[in-house]
Structure 1
Amino acid sequence: MTAPLFPLFADLRGRLVLVVGGGAVARRKVAALLDAGARVRVGAPELDPTLQALHEDGRIEHVAARFEPQWLDAAWLAIAATGDDVVNRAVAAAGEARRVWVNVVDDAQASSFQVPARIERGPLQVAISSGGGAPMLARHLREKLETELDESLGALAGLLSRLRHRIRTRLPHLSARRRFFDQLLAGPVPGLLRRGDHVGAEQELLTALARAAHGTGRGRVALVGAGPGDAGLLTLRGLRLLNEADVILHDRLVSRDVLELARRDAERIEVGKQAGNHHTTQDGIHALMLEHARAGKRVVRLKGGDGFVFGRGGEELEFLHAHGICFEVVPGITAALACGAYAGIPLTHRDHAQSLRLLTAHCKDSADTLDWPALAAERQTLAVYMGVAGLQRLRDNLLAHGKPATTPFALVENGSRPEQRVIVGSLDDLPELARAHAVQSPALLILGEVAALATSLHWFGAAPLGATPSAGAPLARAA
């Protein structure tokens, strides 16, 4: 796989850039370089009329000759735009020998840098590159963004640039500046600039800055459900909060793909807990939320699945409420829904399961509080969280209370992730099959007639492993 290009914006003010070629393509490159403040030297036997006029006006230098490698000796960058492949490749080779970056127009393989498609709004620029392999696609995206990015963004960028020192002085902390900018963009300033009221926009910005500088500085906490692992299942609201967060307190099971969606400079703190190894206690998590919120930061408490389904989210909100911390809750796709869907198992089915029970039985104390006779009833689906360590106790209790030994099950390990595994079988063999396949957390147990459908309806990842479900288990809807 080819490594991606490294994007950067170069300051060319007063720096020499060589353009080899004197035709229409070179003319376009020269215009962009002059706009960037570069000192441009054009090497070509002849210049087209526009370039000739620029030379006569003293805006560009001209070397009236065929290319010589020494032309690159004082250059910072070079562009080969002659239309002659031999000459263009010679420019590229000379640049490589001198460690000068060279762009060969329409020849990505020979180029050491690419000139991206650009959208300009004053000092604000958006650059799009396909690595030179699909320039028409980059151009298409540029045209699309041209229609979506308002012209007032250029004026806003100029205003913010002019007031940058004042903003940084009044709001020295990065988290406070981020909140200020978020509120500014959602306020009246962009609309005033769109109408051409630059004076009013500046006054409104300074008023907002004064309010922000004299604010209480109290932060807030968002309890966000990260879903089961597939980053595509994260909600839009959750994504937005991850991009606004100053601090992310995340569970051990939150996938790397989800964390990659967060702000690059956000502080990430793992507060994961797993059976027998509490990396951070619940009281410790409470203390971290309080510490960072009181420091004026935007905190995301990022939980695997959904925070209100065996996620202790209620306890955390009670703590925040008791300490006067503002909070909000963003639900996530809980493991039962995701694992069922990604294993091809409908959790309810009008022929086989009219109800669904979510339960956890990861320790003896929690198992002793369960209503075993109700759990052993027919025509329902049991979704058991955090149950890998207690499968034998679960199996024995269900059998003791009348659950048929042939009841199908599916153990879904790493549900929705690329490494997902599904182990199927019958209740009487549940713990033995789990041990034989070395099932590890995170894994969710789905128990009930619908679990048999995993063998025929699986669509994601490898086919289910394990024993074939009982011949009496339904594999399709009854006629």
Structure 2
Amino acid sequence: MDIFPISLKLQQQRCLIVGGGHIAYRKAVLLVKAGAIIDVIAPEIQADLLKLIQQRQGQYFQEKFKATAELRHYRLVIAATDHAEINRLVFEVCEAANILVNSVDDPPHCRFMVPAIVDRSPLIISIASNGTSPVLSRQIRTQLEAIIPHGMGALAEFSGKWRNRVKEVIQNPDERRIFWENLYKSSLKEKVFNHQISEADVLIEQALVEWNTPKGEVYLVGAGPGDPELLTLKALRLMQQADVVIYDRLVSTPILELCRRDATKIYVGKARSNHAVPQEGINALLVQYAQEGKRVCRLKGGDPFIFGRGGEEIQELFDANVAFQVVPGITAASGCSAYAGIPLTHRDYAQSVRFLTGHLKEGSPELPWNELVYENQTLVLYMGLMGLEKICQKLIEHGQRSNMPVALISKGTTPEQKVVIGTLADIVTKVADSQIQAPTLTIIGEVVTLREQLKWQD
């Protein structure tokens, strides 16, 4: 994050604009809406800008900006001239005086940015790109304008009116957050949107009277193979309301950043022979936090019920009488194969697909090899990088042809995705030469030959 977003209270605060043209007027309008008093320094000034500053009891100084300008009584300064050297001078003087300064459309000479704004006062939504793409920020603002009801401002004002009362009744901040979240999902929101404030007052008072300490719950959420855009809507909603997030090694950083920012985040990832927290410890954490009344998101890469040990975890929750929900995710086999351009089934090549784990117990593969040697079938092996050589040997020993196509996909669906193509006979050597790294997925079958035509992601 290259910039720190803040919201400034500028009511009755004096601000300075250097420049008297149309751009200066646009900035002045925004500052006046925020309650600021505007002064302007410029050799010439537009009539509408002059009228605006006079209405706000501001001052117009008809002169060029000088390095000796006295700025210490201004909260912030905006340089809005057509002259780069003047804007730079304004920036330098403000920097020396530790005053926030913005040079319009000149990011190197800005200490703050003016964002694109969605105004649902008192609810204000700002979108900033650190000066890299103001047009993109405005486009995003346009999209938000279309989906955020104008009544949201009234809802924010209504919430502010009741905030202290709710705080008196519900003193625990975590419980208070749940109360408001539940309230916003109720019919109260529509009452406020339709200006039925007295009825909304009755609803919130009733909700306070009936309030009980909420019970904890666990959300077992599949995070998919890595691309955050593959999350389900329900997964995203639960991730953003959870108090605690317990996550695995295969959960990508962009997905983790979509969780509620102030949630407690606990890493319990497992790598080969290196478990940050043993499974029994994970189960205990889920029960512990839920029994404390927390909403716990157990975030797992892929799908929790496909080689994710999700069944074991919710058995533990069931035994402890803890409420839970399960949110399926796109499993690695589906996501990685699609992004690699390899269909798992195809009418001409494979009429069945089998999902297998490539983890080897005590160094020995424990798979039904005779059942796996079938021409029109696709084999998908999870976590098979370390055992790849033995897996290929066993398949050949049990009758599979050595030139059967194989694909190994590393970090599938992410920008670091890498695909190695070979056969049972040579894939181990090719993988070693490529220095490919886990997490990986292995696909064995004739469908691999279709990648050359279908590799859309490349």
TM-score bracket, shorter-length normalisation? 0.7 to 0.9
* Partner residue in 2 for 1:165: 164
* Partner residue in 2 for 1:275: 272
Secondary structure of 2:69's counterpart equals helix
Q: How many residues are aligned here?
A: 457
**1:94 counterpart = 2:93:** yes
Task: Give the deviation of 1:390 after TM superposition.
Answer: 2.7
Give distance in 2, aligned partners of 1:162 and 1:117: 28
Task: Give the deviation of 1:101 after TM superposition.
Answer: 2.5
**1:391 counterpart = 2:388:** yes
Residue pairs, 1:125-274, within 5 angstroms: 125-132=124-131, 134-212=133-211, 214-215=212-213, 217-274=214-271
Q: Which amino acid aligns with 2:126?
A: A
Q: Structure 1 pair 83/338, CA: closer, same or farther in 2 (3 Å)? A: closer
* Partner residue in 2 for 1:402: 399
* Partner residue in 2 for 1:76: 75
Secondary structure of 1:300's counterpart equals strand
8 A Cα contact 1:358 1:384, kept in partner: yes
**1:17 counterpart = 2:15:** yes
Task: Give the deviation of 1:197 after TM superposition.
Answer: 1.6
8 A Cα contact 1:305 1:335, kept in partner: yes
Give distance in 2, aligned partners of 1:392 and 1:380: 20
* Partner residue in 2 for 1:328: 325
Identity of aligned residues (%): 43
Give distance in 2, aligned partners of 1:141 and 1:433: 45
8 A Cα contact 1:410 1:452, kept in partner: no
Q: Structure 1 pair 454/218, CA: closer, same or farther in 2 (3 Å)? A: same
Q: Between 138-147 and 307-316, report the one with greater CA deviation.
A: 138-147
Structure 2 runs not aligned, ≥5 long: none
Per-residue CA shift, 1:233-259, capped at 9, x if unaligned? 222221222111211111112111211
Give distance in 2, aligned partners of 1:52 and 1:420: 58
8 A Cα contact 1:189 1:204, kept in partner: yes
Residue pairs, 1:268-347, within 5 angstroms: 268-347=265-344
Give distance in 1, aligned partners of 2:411 and 2:80: 53
Q: Which amino acid aligns with 1:70?
A: A
Q: Between 104-113 and 375-384, report the one with greater CA deviation.
A: 104-113
Give distance in 1, aligned partners of 2:271 and 2:85: 64
Q: Which amino acid aligns with 1:257?
A: P
Task: Give the deviation of 1:264 after TM superposition.
Answer: 1.4
Q: Between 262-271 and 115-124, report the one with greater CA deviation.
A: 115-124
Per-residue CA shift, 1:116-173, capped at 9, x if unaligned? 3322222111123344455455445444433432222122111222322333343333
8 A Cα contact 1:175 1:296, kept in partner: no
Question: Rg: which structure is higher?
Answer: 1
Task: Give the deviation of 1:301 after TM superposition.
Answer: 1.0
* Partner residue in 2 for 1:113: 112
Q: Structure 1 pair 379/24, CA: closer, same or farther in 2 (3 Å)? A: closer
Give distance in 1, aligned partners of 2:157 and 2:58: 28
Q: Between 361-370 and 34-43, report the one with greater CA deviation.
A: 361-370
Task: Give the deviation of 1:20 after TM superposition.
Answer: 3.7
Task: Give the deviation of 1:355 after TM superposition.
Answer: 0.9
Give distance in 2, aligned partners of 1:328 and 1:5: 37
Give distance in 2, aligned partners of 1:344 and 1:53: 63
Per-residue CA shift, 1:434-457, capped at 9, x if unaligned? 445455432222122223334554
8 A Cα contact 1:361 1:367, kept in partner: no
Q: Structure 1 pair 133/307, CA: closer, same or farther in 2 (3 Å)? A: closer
Give distance in 2, aligned partners of 1:29 and 1:72: 18
Give distance in 2, aligned partners of 1:218 and 1:184: 17
8 A Cα contact 2:365 2:390, kept in partner: no
Q: Structure 1 pair 354/100, CA: closer, same or farther in 2 (3 Å)? A: same
Task: Give the deviation of 1:311 after TM superposition.
Answer: 1.0
8 A Cα contact 1:242 1:262, kept in partner: yes
Q: Between 4-13 and 195-204, report the one with greater CA deviation.
A: 4-13
Per-residue CA shift, 1:171-223, capped at 9, x if unaligned? 333432332222111111221112212222122123223333x23x2111111
Secondary structure of 1:238's counterpart equals helix
Secondary structure of 1:191's counterpart equals helix
Give distance in 2, aligned partners of 1:281 and 1:446: 29
Give distance in 2, aligned partners of 1:252 and 1:82: 51
Q: Structure 1 pair 409/192, CA: closer, same or farther in 2 (3 Å)? A: same
* Partner residue in 2 for 1:470: none
8 A Cα contact 1:360 1:366, kept in partner: no
Superposed CA RMSD in Å reads 3.0
Secondary structure of 1:78's counterpart equals strand
Give distance in 2, aligned partners of 1:388 and 1:311: 17
Q: Structure 1 pair 292/25, CA: closer, same or farther in 2 (3 Å)? A: same
Per-residue CA shift, 1:277-329, capped at 9, x if unaligned? 22211111110111111111111111111111111111112221222212111
Secondary structure of 1:72's counterpart equals coil
Q: Structure 1 pair 129/443, CA: closer, same or farther in 2 (3 Å)? A: closer
Q: Structure 1 pair 274/129, CA: closer, same or farther in 2 (3 Å)? A: closer
Secondary structure of 2:119's counterpart equals strand
* Partner residue in 2 for 1:373: 370
Secondary structure of 2:165's counterpart equals helix
Q: Which amino acid aligns with 2:196?
A: D
Q: Which amino acid aligns with 2:180?
A: F
Secondary structure of 1:287's counterpart equals helix
